């Protein structure tokens, strides 16, 4: 059984189709806004996949653009998929950028990651996650910390259940040596990296590699089935989250990941380094 993909990708697909139909019909975003009696900003958000549409709104736009009946039926089905609630909705309100991230993660067939400072979320143990969230956001209540831990654990269950994606993670050695929680928590986390499914590849860039493109920060590239969506690069920083889809942005992101991988140890050498650092936290 295929993994449910959530609402993110269907909304993006619908937004792209509507933008193409509007352009082909020679209509402006203001024309679309006038038809719906809304702001241009709302049309921009619909076309960007940030918000969904009501059936009556979509039908009005399709009529304005002169869409064929067969295409209209397909887009109405796509709208229904985009209106579904993601699995994360049971945990209450989730920030929109994070919901977008979870939607892409749920739908991806391949996930390539570079993480310089911590173990990647999908590979974290529960104790490590708990300690990490407490360290990153000390103002959270115990209940709020527990909620975030539960979301991260369910992320892992859903991604690794039916038809899991191929996952390739490159970590900086700093992510292995930075103690999050107690030494025992770190040792269990590092040993967990040695027991991951075969579809998960973990490599480590050692300190001995010196300078490399990873110094600019973390990077994730999501790849999807061809009929679903083109690849998307994701960058997170203090200023917010960026989703990069343009061809030149993706090319630059792929080059960066390739150079980062070139600086990393082989899979076997990485396993040996991870095991050695785990023993330093809790000697056998």
Dihedral sign computed on CA atoms, order 125, 145, 180, 238: positive
Q: What is the mean pLDDT of each run of 10 residues along the chain (284 residues)?
A: 62 86 92 93 88 89 90 85 76 77 86 96 97 93 94 90 89 97 97 94 96 92 85 82 87 95 96 97 82
Domains and CATH numbers, the chain: 8-83 (1.10.260.40), 94-281 (3.30.870)
d(CA 58, CA 46): 10
3-state secondary structure of 88: helix
3-state secondary structure of 237: strand
pLDDT at 160: 87
d(CA 261, CA 257): 6
Spell out the residues 6+ positions from residue 165 whose beta carbon is closer than 8 angstroms to its own: 108, 109, 110, 111, 159, 199
pLDDT at 270: 98
pLDDT at 1: 38
Q: Could you give the dihedral angle defined by the CA atoms of residues 272, 276, 278 and 279, in that order, rounded to the nearest 10 degrees? A: 140
Q: What is the pTM assigned to this prediction? A: 0.79
Asked if 204 contacts 171 with a C-beta cutoff of 8 angstroms, the reply is yes
Q: Record the tokens describing residue 247, joined without a space.
A: 């061809």
Spell out the residues 6+ positions from residue 192 whose beta carbon is closer than 8 angstroms to its own: 123, 125
pLDDT at 33: 92
pLDDT at 236: 83
pLDDT at 6: 66
pLDDT at 60: 93
pLDDT at 170: 98
Asked if 113 contacts 231 with a C-beta cutoff of 8 angstroms, the reply is no
pLDDT at 284: 67
């Amino acid at each position: 059984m295929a993994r449910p993909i959530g609402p993110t990708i269907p909304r993006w697909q619908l937004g792209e189709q509507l933008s193409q139909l509007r352009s082909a019909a020679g209509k402006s975003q203001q024309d679309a806004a006038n038809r719906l009696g809304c702001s241009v900003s709302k049309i921009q958000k619909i076309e960007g996949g940030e918000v969904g549409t009501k059936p009556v709104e979509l039908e009005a736009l399709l009529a304005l653009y002169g869409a064929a009946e067969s295409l209209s039926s397909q887009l109405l089905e796509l709208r229904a998929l985009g209106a579904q609630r993601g699995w994360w909705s049971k945990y209450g309100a989730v920030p929109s950028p994070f919901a977008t991230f979870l939607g892409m993660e749920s739908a991806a067939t391949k996930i390539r990651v570079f993480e310089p400072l911590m173990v990647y979320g999908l590979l974290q143990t529960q104790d490590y996650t708990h300690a990490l969230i407490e360290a990153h956001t000390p103002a959270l209540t115990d209940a709020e910390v527990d909620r975030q831990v539960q979301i991260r654990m369910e992320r892992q269950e859903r991604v690794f259940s039916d038809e899991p994606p191929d996952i390739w993670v490159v970590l900086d050695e700093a992510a292995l040596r930075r103690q999050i929680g107690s030494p025992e928590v770190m040792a269990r986390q590092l040993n967990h990296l040695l027991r991951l499914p075969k579809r998960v590849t973990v490599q480590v860039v050692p300190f001995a590699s010196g300078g490399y493109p990873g110094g600019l920060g973390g990077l994730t590239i999501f790849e999807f089935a061809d009929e679903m969506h083109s690849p998307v690069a994701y960058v997170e920083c203090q200023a917010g989250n960026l989703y990069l889809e343009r061809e030149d942005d993706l090319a630059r992101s792929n080059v960066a990941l390739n150079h980062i991988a070139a600086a990393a140890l082989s899979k076997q050498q990485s396993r040996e380094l991870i095991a050695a650092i785990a023993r330093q936290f809790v000697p056998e």
